[in-house]
Chains A and B, each alone.
Chain A
Amino acid sequence: ETGVTQSPTHLIKTRGQQVTLRCSSQSGHNTVSWYQQALGQGPQFIFQYYREEENGRGNFPPRFSGLQFPNYSSELNVNALELDDSALYLCASSATSGGPPRYEQYFGPGTRLTVT
């Protein structure tokens, strides 16, 4: 069983730039969620994708957007980067349908974004 993978591992961007982070979900999982973990904090829910549609959103501005592809992989895009966007971005996958529900989400290793 292949786990959740994310790329890149680390990224340094300048304020005002745009960034795209990528996630491949665990085999058999059709739902992808993105979280932002600032230093010393717990992860904060950004949004979730199911069947290529946004399926719930946390308290993040529209410059945070995403995509889910037919193979269930996903992208997180952040426009007009701000210094406060510096964080670890975590992708998590889960199986929403097909078989007994399991409820837990499985996380990738994260992408460390630094905005200067």
Chain B
Amino acid sequence: AQSVAQPEDQVNVAEGNPLTVKCTYSVSGNPYLFWYVQYPNRGLQFLLKYITGDNLVKGSYGFEAEFNKSQTSFHLKKPSALVSDSALYFCAVRDSVSGTASKLTFGTGTRLQVTL
């Protein structure tokens, strides 16, 4: 069974500072990893993905994530946080050997609060 852990319920950071939102995963095969962001009363918005290749992937709005196979982690990062980045962030994993069903398993989410 595949699973995702987001160990922090909330991350607080000052605007202009770097931010990291942590994610670890467990799958039986090679992982496909994703980050989504959710604003209040909205659906999930895709930020970035890791499928294969370079361990550092870049996504929307200046976000990037680093895949670490030995630590089974896929932490989300941004060099300089903005107040508008404040939202709920979800890490998700899909097993590459799950067949035709592309089921995503999500973590419980991390609320990012960026203050002035």
| Complexed CA–CA distance, A44 and B3 (Å) | 11
- Interface mask (B2-35 → A, CB under 8 Å = 1, otherwise 0): 0010000000000000000000000000001010
Q: Is the Cβ of A55 less than 8 Å from the Cβ of B101?
A: yes
Chain B contributes a number of interface residues (CB within 8 A of A) equal to: 26
With contacts A90-B43, A104-B34 taken as known, whether A33 is within 8 angstroms of B102 at the C-beta atoms is yes
Q: Is the Cβ of A109 less than 8 Å from the Cβ of B43?
A: yes
Quick check: is A24 within 8 A (CB to CB) of the other chain? Answer: no
Q: Is the Cβ of B46 less than 8 Å from the Cβ of A45?
A: no
The B-contacting residues of A in range 1-23, CB under 8 angstroms, are: 4, 6
Q: Is the Cβ of A42 less than 8 Å from the Cβ of B100?
A: no
- Distance to closest chain B CB from A47 (angstroms): 9
| Complexed CA–CA distance, A40 and B92 (Å) | 16
